[in-house]
Amino acid sequence: MRMRVWIILTGWLLFVPASGYAGEVDALYAKALQAARAGRVDFVFMYCNQIDREYPRSRYREQVLFAKGEYFYELPAHALAKEAFEKVLEEYPQSPAKLFVLSYLHKIAEAEGKAESIERFRKEILTLRQVGLVFKETKEYNYSSPFYRSYRAVFYIDKVEFYRGGELFAAVSQ
């Protein structure tokens, strides 16, 4: 009987604190989304940075890294944006945001004038999705970021256009 009590007590002590941390991460992410709805970009970054720093294994890490990359790109702090976007690609190779991460990295490479990187990202963007346009002229992919920005990629036969918030952000052609 005494052994059973110790096992239950040990199990309870191991699992209860973990659920408390999950609640804190959820609360921080909810605050970040609330700040994004209010248009308070710096607060969104502050909450996302805190999640990334204090909870590096949280379920929001992918979104947080993308948000940090967006924030740094807008500053413009391209080196930090590039670092955040490369972490997304490295840690989440099947991410739904991968196409848009590549578009940001392509734009950063253009700004830095790195021809090799521009070509590498161009090829990766064009070959990422095997698009069969049998009955349509275009194929679209959408993504919504933690900053409440809507992203849209439109694949044509010979090019891909990226829209951010309804405005043309980048175009990559064969």
DSSP E strand stretches across 42-166 = 139-144, 150-155, 159-164
Residue with tokens 């004038």: 113
Looking up residue 94, the CATH number of its domain turns out to be 1.25.40.10
Backbone angles phi, psi at 157, to 5 degrees: -65, -40
Residue 155, C-beta contacts closer than 8 angstroms, at least 6 positions apart: 129, 131, 133, 138, 139, 140, 141
Q: What is the pLDDT of residue 134?
A: 57
The model's pTM: 0.83
pLDDT digits (tens, 9 = 90+) for 92-135: 999 999 999 999 999 999 999 999 999 999 999 988 876 565 56
Q: What is the mean pLDDT of the chain?
A: 88
The two three-digit tokens of residue 139, written as one number: 């194929």
Q: Binning pLDDT at 50, 70 and 90, where does residue 149 land? A: very high
Asked whether residue 140 carries a pLDDT value surpassing 60, the answer given is yes
Q: Is the pLDDT of residue 69 over 80?
A: yes
What is the predicted pLDDT for the residue at 142?
94
Give the pLDDT score at 18: 46
Residues in the chain: 174
Residue 120: give the domain boundaries.
2-33+41-173
- Residues 3-15: tens digit of each pLDDT: 665 566 565 555 5
Contact 96, 143 (CB under 8 A): yes
pLDDT digits (tens, 9 = 90+) for 17-47: 444 456 899 999 999 999 999 999 999 999 9
Number of domains in the chain: 1
Please tell me the predicted confidence (pLDDT) of residue 14. 58
